[in-house]
A and B are shown apart, each in its own frame.
Chain A
């Protein structure tokens, strides 16, 4: 617990340094690009809680992300038309509560996505792992169809969100959003690290290694899996909630974009799935490569890069970058443990005739 607190403080410090560093450069584009990278850190970490720790593949990250985004849109629209949607007695109250601030929207988006994660998990996690993966693919399309047909949040036309020009204290709105994402990334990483070192994390690992054996040893596998899907889904929804304010115009095609699903799988897979470091490394690496490629080459090519890297890493380096580094360190360590003169002497002494 104390180490988690320490980690949280250090991560917050790093995040703050990051924020003020970019602010010092004073280029708003860096905030725009940085927001996307941070968003991917949250998504990748969230994916890894279920995918890396439990070994259940979620192809529907985009769906959870979009649920968070659309819950914000719905609340925004509700606030815009308070007089129309509320009975007169409640209008006064609604006006005080409703133009919600982003942290509240994030919590709300997290709850919505978490519940959807719980529901999907409950329906499919009792079956083999592959079915869960397919069901999450299906979930993305069902939710997209629902949103396309739901006029209140704009349907297939999409919804405009006009964001305020500035916020008090911080100044420009994009800096505010960026700061929120920094906090969210720190939070996600802390949660992931805490899970990894807790009883819960060991439970998840038993499921990943051998679910049947875990079940036989009395590990409540279904309950643990449901906890994992809920936490993972909630974090993805939280990453999505500020998105409409970032992008300004949200339509189902962009919110449910395949890029989110691919990236949130590719990043942990490339970074390494067994610890919280992997998704962070993968998200930073791929996120920055993509930002650079989008600016310099084209956005279709950057997706191709992600796809090829995913396939390549999965085949060649199944443990990801973190695994490669660990193997390298281990090789160095065993290099240090190579026989010295003294040990050779000892072996020699033992091997001499008549020693036994």
Chain B
């Protein structure tokens, strides 16, 4: 019985990990690659959840489809946020302290606006696959978890291909290595960074839809994800997307096992404990040197 419980917990953790990878990939790009500490990312994810919720309630559209349709809007939002960030902080060379406060304010304003509009009730979506569960002997694989996991991994995979194979993707990796050198190659680093940041925010649209498929959402849920995404991002070695996936799976499994054996009220502490330990002992991440 214990072994079955353990295996089920590990499966749930791996599925959760795929979803966590989708949530974190935006931070891996903005914080890991561009060095912009975008702590407002979870707020954008919740925004994505609410957009999926509205479309699902009024038109009955599938949440993930909604997210894909909303991608350009999130891309534009990301580009706009980066433009403000660049003009107010990066250009003046005072991005550290005030940039953090800026994103913190953004996170807060988004959350309070959502509370004012939607209240603090939990919202959820309906889709055909959400109730379905796949039973293989004693193992349960709920589609509510499987679909987000697969979609999340697919998105991270596509992004990895984009970053390593396409010209723009390579330019983004280059800007993280040496901005000045890129400038000397007659490329505009600001434009490249804007594109990258916009892509990072665009992933929040998909991640938000996946989130509301997995669990009911209310505006302050995003806060729980701040620690998680940064824990995963740091553990994964900041820049590397494969590292992010491995770290996400690891955190998912540990969290799921903790929730199964010690009760779900301990689960939030796991990710943060992870983060503190990683920062203290292995700041370069799992795959780091």
Chain A contacts with B in 298-325, Cβ cutoff 8 A = 300-301, 303-304, 306-308, 310-311, 314-315, 318
A137-B226, A304-B112, A314-B88 are contacts. A127–B276 as well, Cβ < 8 Å? no
> Which B221-253 residues have a C-beta within 8 angstroms of A?
223-224, 226-227, 230-231, 234
Say yes or no for B51: interface residue by CB 8 A criterion.
no
Whether A55 touches B96, Cβ cut-off 8 Å, given contacts A123-B279, A308-B109, is yes
CA–CA, A141 and B275, complex, Å: 11
Contacts of A149 in B (CB 8 A): 265-266
A91-130 with Cβ < 8 A to chain B: 120, 123-124, 127, 129-130
Per a CB cutoff under 8 Å, which of A124, A269, A318 touches B279? A124
Binary contact readout B70-107 vs A (1 if CB under 8 angstroms, 0 otherwise):
00000000000000100010001010111011101110
Measured in the bound complex, the distance between the Cα atoms of B276 and A139 in whole Å is: 8
Give the nearest-CB partner of A132 in chain B: B279
User: CA A295 – CA B92 in complex, angstroms?
Assistant: 39
Known: A149-B265, A315-B102. A51 touches B97 (CB 8 A): yes
Question: Which of A13-21, A70-78, A258-266 forms part of the interface with chain B?
Answer: A258-266
Residues of A within 8 A of B116 (CB): 300-301, 304
Complex contact A315–B269 (CB within 8 A): no
> Given A57-B101, A124-B280, is A134 in contact with B108 using a C-beta cutoff of 8 Å?
no
Residues in B whose Cβ lies below 8 Å from that of A310: 101, 104-105, 108
- Chain B residues positioned under 8 Å from A314 (CB to CB): 88, 98, 101-102, 105
* Shortest CB distance B220–A (Å): 8
Chain B's nearest CB lies how many Å from the CB of A311?
A: 4
Q: For residue B218, give the distance in angstroms from its CB to the closest CB of chain A.
A: 13
- List, in ascending order, chain A residues with CB within 8 A of B272's CB: 138-139, 141-142, 145
**Which residues of the partner chain A approach B220 to less than 8 Å between Cβ atoms?**
258
A266 to B84, CA, bound (A): 19
Residue-wise, chain B 21-39 has the 8 Å CB interface mask toward A (1 for contact) of 0000000000100000101
The residue that B104 contacts in the complex, of A59, A129, A273, with Cβ under 8 A, is A59
Q: How far is the CA of A135 from the CA of B113 in the complex (A)?
A: 26
- B278, chain A: closest CB distance, angstroms: 10
B5 within 8 Å of A (CB atoms): no
Kindly state whether residue B157 has any CB partner on chain A within 8 Å.
no
Contact with A along B20-60 (1 / 0, CB 8 A): 00000000000100000101000000000000000000000
**Which residues does chain B contribute within 8 Å of A301, judged by CB atoms?**
116
Q: Shortest beta-carbon distance, B47 to chain A, in Å?
A: 15
Cβ–Cβ < 8 Å partners of B106 in chain A = 311
Q: Contact check: which of B97, B105, B231 meets A55 at CB < 8 Å? A: B97
Other-chain contact of B224, A141, A148, A307 (Cβ < 8 Å)? A141
Please determine whether B108 and A303 come into contact, CB atoms closer than 8 angstroms: yes
Which one of A139, A144, A269 contacts B101 once the chains associate, using CB atoms below 8 Å? A269
Closest-by-CB residue of B relative to A262 is B108
Beyond A123-B276, A315-B88, whether A134 also contacts B39 by CB under 8 A is yes
Does residue A162 face the partner (Cβ distance < 8 Å to B)? no
Interchain nearest-CB distance for A210 vs B (Å): 11
Assuming the contacts A146-B269, A300-B116, A315-B88, asked whether A137 and B227 have C-beta atoms less than 8 A apart, the reply is: yes
Distance of A44 from chain B, by nearest CB (Å): 13
- For the complex, what is the distance from the CA of A149 to the CA of B272, rounded to whole Å? 16
Given A141-B269, A304-B116, verify A127-B283 contact (CB < 8 Å): yes
Indicate which residue in A138, A144, A156 contacts B276 across the interface (CB closer than 8 Å): A138
Query: Please, how many angstroms separate the alpha-carbon atoms of A139 and B279 in the complex?
Result: 12
Q: Which residue of chain B is the closest to A305 with respect to CB atoms?
A: B112
- A262–B105 alpha-carbon span in the complex (Å): 8
Cα of A22 to Cα of B37 in the assembled complex, Å: 44
| A138–B231 touching, CB < 8 Å | yes
In the complex, whether A226 has a CB less than 8 A from a CB of chain B is: no
Interface residues in B160-200 by Cβ distance below 8 A to A read none
Which 4 interchain pairs have the tightest Cβ spacing? A145-B269, A311-B105, A138-B272, A310-B105
30 A-B pairs within 8 Å (CB atoms) are namely A59-B104, A123-B279, A124-B280, A130-B37, A130-B96, A130-B100, A131-B279, A133-B37, A133-B39, A137-B39, A137-B227, A137-B230, A138-B230, A138-B276, A141-B269, A142-B268, A142-B276, A145-B272, A148-B265, A269-B98, A269-B101, A273-B97, A307-B108, A307-B109, A308-B105, A314-B88, A314-B98, A314-B102, A318-B92, A318-B98
B interface list, Cβ under 8 A from A: 31, 37, 39, 84, 88, 92, 94, 96-98, 100-102, 104-106, 108-109, 111-113, 115-116, 220, 223-224, 226-227, 230-231, 234, 265-266, 268-269, 271-273, 275-276, 279-280, 283
Given contacts A127-B283, A142-B273, could you give 20 more A-B pairs where the C-beta distance is less than 8 Å?
A: A55-B96, A120-B276, A123-B279, A129-B97, A131-B279, A133-B37, A133-B100, A134-B227, A134-B275, A141-B224, A141-B272, A142-B269, A145-B265, A145-B266, A258-B223, A262-B104, A266-B101, A273-B97, A307-B112, A311-B105
